[in-house]
Amino acid sequence: MARKPSKAEAAPAREEAPRRKGARRTTPSPETLSALRPDRLIALILGETERNPAFKKIVSAALAALQGPEAVAAIVDRRLSALEGARGFIDWQRRRAFTADLNATVSVILSELRPLDPVAALDRLVRFLHGASGVLARVDDSLGITEGVYERAAEAAVEIAGALPEAEAGRFAGRILPLVADEPDGPLAMLVLDLVPRLPEGALPGLDADLAQALAAVPDAPGDWRATRARGRLLRARQDIADRRGDVDAFIALERAVAGEAPDTGAVAERLFAAGRLDEALDWVRRPRQGNGTILTREALITGRVDTETPARARAALEIGILDALGRAGEAQDLRWQRFCDSLDAAMLRDYLAKLPDFEDDEALRAAFDRAMAFPQPYRALTFLINWPDLERAGRLVLDRAKTWEGERYEVLAPAAEALEQARPEAAALLYRRLIDDILERGRSQAYAHAARYLAQLDAIDPGASGYRDTLRREHGRKHGFWTLVGGR
């Protein structure tokens, strides 16, 4: 029978609850702060204003808001004038305080001026953004922290303008167009492009007319990079408006104006397809693609390896969709098969098999696997077989091309080894050895934990792993960081 605790033993437990409850009472919140006396809150605020200049600006603006929007706007205007007139360089030691001050200016505009007068707030954000290039040119901002303040201001400007009444939103967009011509690479140029999807439908015709007028004022001078860039920005904005209005012909004309001899034929084909203009869409999607059109994915950024097939895959899918819509199913099937044979695109193969008559898919699948086994790019072939999955063939591919695999390609080999552990342990063991060898031979200490895990998995599936471990001891015995992680295994 359990012994009942004494009063002395039970007392700490009873005292613990009030302490935990008290901890919650000390967390700043509307409820907890309301318990403080007003004079105590005032003292805390004044103390922080003495220590924190950015906070002092925010408090001053909140007090000015009691007098109306003009008083807040005057505070913001003084700060913007100071920014526009400053010329000194801001080194890394002063960057944090300077950035906090910039952020406080944006906070004042959004928190104090916007509720009182959204249009006035928008005007100040535009003025702030228009000075971005001058400010960023004199700040040591290698980490992009100061630039992030301008990104915040631009996002807020788009949100405010998009929420304005239709007429005001259109007038605002028209007013900033001349500034785009002055700084085509500045944040205001991107603001115009970001604003088009947010504007009310009725504001689009007026903005399009303003864009056409702004374009007429920018010289078409190929040798003038600023003018060329400005024209490109303004034309893209007009193209976005044409896209929103479903005007495919205007979209195509503007694409030609922007891209010249290298239009985005896929983008044009997509819009023609959506408009039901199938023959024209097929013509455009089959036109030779200019440039490599490479798309950087998150995996590409992490591994450093770019998927150059993404644009080709998208174009093939679009062409197949158009052919199907035209009733040319046989051509669509041929293209699916060709696309698979060229790239081992599993999605294309699945679609191809799904379209086949009954009892023909088994033979087609065998032909597809034969193609994979003979594919000239072994890593792509292994990835296809692992993901399909056909682990028997994947294991055979690993052993047939045993000298091919390099541990550096861990993004392919590591998941393949794990997948093969049960079905083809000898193939998994080979891949784990390649991974371990690469890490240790190159002394990649940051990956030693992975190598230790691979060795543990190798021990579990390979009876000859102890001999391999002895070899590692002889060749890499001084890599103590690795052997410490391996431990007694």
214 against 52, higher pLDDT:
214
203 against 393, higher pLDDT:
393
What average pLDDT does the chain have? 88
**Amino acid in position 408:** E
- Residue 15 pLDDT class (50, 70, 90 cuts): very low
User: How confident is the model over 149-188, as pLDDT tens digits?
Assistant: 999 999 999 999 988 888 888 888 888 888 887 788 888 8
* Least confident stretch, 44-48, 289-293, 433-437: 289-293
* Least confident stretch, 84-88, 179-183, 266-270, 355-359: 179-183
**In the prediction, which pLDDT does 276 show?**
97
Is residue 21 pLDDT above 80, yes or no?
no
344: left (phi over 0), alpha (psi -120 to 50) or beta: left
Using alpha carbons, list the distances in angstroms from residue 140 to 106, 204, 251, 294, 433. Answer: 20, 40, 41, 32, 47
User: How confident is the model over 449-465, as pLDDT tens digits?
Assistant: 999 999 999 999 998 88
What gap in Å lies between CA 429 and CA 160, rounded to an integer?
A: 59
pTM: predicted TM-score of the whole model, two decimal places? 0.74
- Residue 441 pLDDT class (50, 70, 90 cuts): very high
Using alpha carbons, list the distances in angstroms from residue 275 to 238, 246, 248, 411. Answer: 19, 8, 8, 41
Q: What is the DSSP letter of 113?
A: I
**In the prediction, which pLDDT does 302 show?**
45
386 is written with which tokens? 């692992």
The rounded percent of the chain whose pLDDT value lies above 90 is 62
**In the prediction, which pLDDT does 264 show?**
92
Radius of gyration of the chain (CA): 32
Is residue 294 pLDDT above 90, yes or no?
no
Region 309-319: mean pLDDT is 89
- Residue 489 pLDDT class (50, 70, 90 cuts): very low
Query: Alpha carbon 212 to chain centroid distance?
Result: 32
**In the prediction, which pLDDT does 20 show?**
47
Q: What is the CB neighbour count within 10 angstroms for residue 151?
A: 14
Q: Please classify residue 156 by burial: count the beta carbons closer than 10 Å to its beta carbon, then call 0-12 exposed, 13-18 middle and 19+ buried.
A: middle
